[in-house]
Amino acid sequence: MNALDGVEKEALREALINLGFDDVRFTDLSPIGPNRLKEWVESGYHADMEWLRNSIEKRLNPDLVLEGACSAIMLGVNYLPSEAGAAEQKRWGKYSLYQDYHDTVLKGLKEAGALLEEQFNLGPRDYRYYVDTGPVMERGWAAASGMGWQGKNGMLISKTHGNWLLLATMLTRVPIVPDAPVKKRSGDDFARVELGALCGKCRRCIDECPTDAIVEPGLLDANRCISYQTIENKGVIPRDLRPGIGSRIFGCDICLDICPWNRFAKAGRQVLLAKRYSVVELRLLDILEMEIDQFREAFRKMPIKRLKLRGLLRNACIVAGNLREESDWSEGRLDSDWGRRVMNALIRLARNEEAMVRPHAVWALFRLWGAEAQVFLAEVRELEDDEETLEEYRWWDDGLV
Ligand code: B12
Ligand code: SF4
Ligand code: SF4
């Protein structure tokens, strides 16, 4: 089969754009230069995401994912919100303000698969598609395809859509003439794009990360990343990272928001996304006092739902503990009626049936009310039997003397 090129290749690109993808690029699968995935995992930067370690070989070798694969169709979905309130708020990672994109983008991928089958007379085993969860280096292949380049924040950055593309991949046995990677300057001629290619001397993302998670350009220590801690970590969030979380309750876009390459980005078309911006209106007390039925209703079909109520309450306790430094969620002074409601909600959470929530509630109460917390937590503490929560009390005992 001759490699797809010219008018036919452009027709395929256009058909995929018509399905709702905002950018469509093609790459072959020839190995690229430095790929630090192994080194990253060996350094422990993957935190407890062992599924990354277990799929290293596949991630480095697409042939193990689809035998005979020779091309990747890289698909980008612009998720920059269309309303200023949703785009500018800092509390929720922007991607979480939609129905779970894994589900909605998958619909587009299924249609794309049907299109490939029809156009190239393929069977369902001649291609594979993934959005996020498959064993493919989505940012690397997207960079190779020229959709953008990998910035010092690790993100695939597009000249058109800035940091706001979600990525999906179709591996196929159909040979397609690859698109060219982005160029640093006109006349540049390099085969594969390099990390930080169009970042120049800028290092804002590295400098602005509140938890110093970007250990070197493009390389992130997930253990220190607010995104990992608030979304993926299923246990206690390390105490030293809690202040840096600030008012972020689910995910983190700081190193994305700060990037000057967002200046050309426009809101997405949302063909493959279903917006749920109403989440932005939730107040901190709504969350601290949330019951399971309200949680299910508020986050139905959203990525936040995967956090479960206990994860959201844990994160909300941290946000509450940061209220003195970050006024973002404040609705009054801490010595007002509102402040007393926050205090009472946190005291209730210090006895929450989920042990994982409790140390964070204790932390927040001590942070906000100092030694006074020892008095109003005395009874709750006596009933405590969870070692991590008791450790939290002891840490404050030591700090308060
Ligand atoms: C694990 C993971 C995380 C972890 C670790 C993040 C990290 N930096 O590695 C955590 C939970 C922290 C995380 C956070 C976020 N994530 Co995430 N995450 C992933 C996931 C599942 C794997 C990433 C991975 O393999 N990391 C390991 C490192 C070493 O690999 P890497 O960053 O891809 O970069 C290496 C390769 O690209 C390689 N390389 C370089 N050039 C080339 C060229 C080729 C051809 C190849 C093959 C390789 C290659 O070298 C790089 C350095 O080693 C991907 C989905 C996927 N399947 O790829 C989504 C993904 C990267 N996440 C995404 C998003 C949106 C986020 C958040 C913004 C969510 C949020 N708001 O909180 C943050 C951003 C944090 C950040 N600055 O990176 C998007 C990024 C979209 C984009 N435009 O880049 C992805 C692609 C999901 C998707 N399908 O859209 N994420
Ligand atoms: S997502 Fe947030 S915590 Fe993670 S590297 Fe970027 S700025 Fe730092
Ligand atoms: S903030 Fe600067 S260094 Fe970071 S990714 Fe954007 S351009 Fe590159």
Q: For residue 8, what is the enclosing H or E element?
A: helix 6-18
Last residue of a domain, one of 260, 281, 302: 281
**Rounded CA separation 361/381 (Å):** 12
Question: Is 103 within 8 Å of 301 (Cβ atoms)?
Answer: yes
Cα separation, 84 vs 96, in Å, equals 15
Chain segment 44-92, per-residue pLDDT in tens: 999 999 999 999 999 999 999 999 999 999 999 999 999 999 999 999 9
Q: In terms of domains, do 116 and 210 share one?
A: yes
Same domain, 290 and 311: yes
Query: Are 210 and 90 part of one and the same domain?
Result: yes
**Pocket mutation for ligand 3, best pick of 158, 163, 198, 199 (most atoms within 8 Å of C-beta):** 199
User: What's the CA-to-centroid distance between 71 and ligand 1, angstroms?
Assistant: 20
Q: How many CB atoms lie within 10 A of CB 147?
A: 29
183 and 296 share a domain? Answer: no
Q: What number of CA atoms fall less than 13 Å from residue 400's CA on the CB side?
A: 17
Residue 30 confidence (pLDDT): 84
Number of domains in the chain: 2
Pair 262, 387 in one domain? no
Going by alpha carbons, the residue nearest to atom 8 of ligand 2 is 209
Quote the domain boundaries for residue 9.
1-281
Same-domain pairing of 111 and 27: yes
- Output the residue whose Cα is nearest ligand 3's atom 2: 202
Look at residues 281, 296, 326 and tell me which one is the last residue of a structural domain. Answer: 281
Mean pLDDT by 10 residues, the chain (401 residues): 93 98 96 81 97 94 96 98 97 98 98 96 95 95 96 98 98 96 71 83 98 96 98 98 98 98 98 98 98 97 97 98 93 96 98 98 97 96 98 92 61
Distance CA 44, CA 38 (A): 10
Same domain, 210 and 292: no
C-alpha pair distances (Å), 266 with each of 45, 79, 137, 164, 283: 33, 9, 26, 9, 28
Predicted pLDDT of residue 189 = 59
> Which pLDDT does position 389 carry in this prediction?
98
Please give the pLDDT value at position 1: 75
Looking at the fold, whether 130 and 9 belong to one and the same domain comes out as yes
pLDDT at 315: 98
Ligand 3 mutation pick, 152, 182, 198, max ligand atoms within 8 A of CB: 152
The catalytic residues are 132
Considering the domain architecture, whether residues 312 and 378 belong to the same structural domain is answered as yes
* Residues 6+ positions from 156 with CB-CB distance below 8 Å: 76, 138, 139, 142, 143, 147, 148, 149, 150, 165, 167
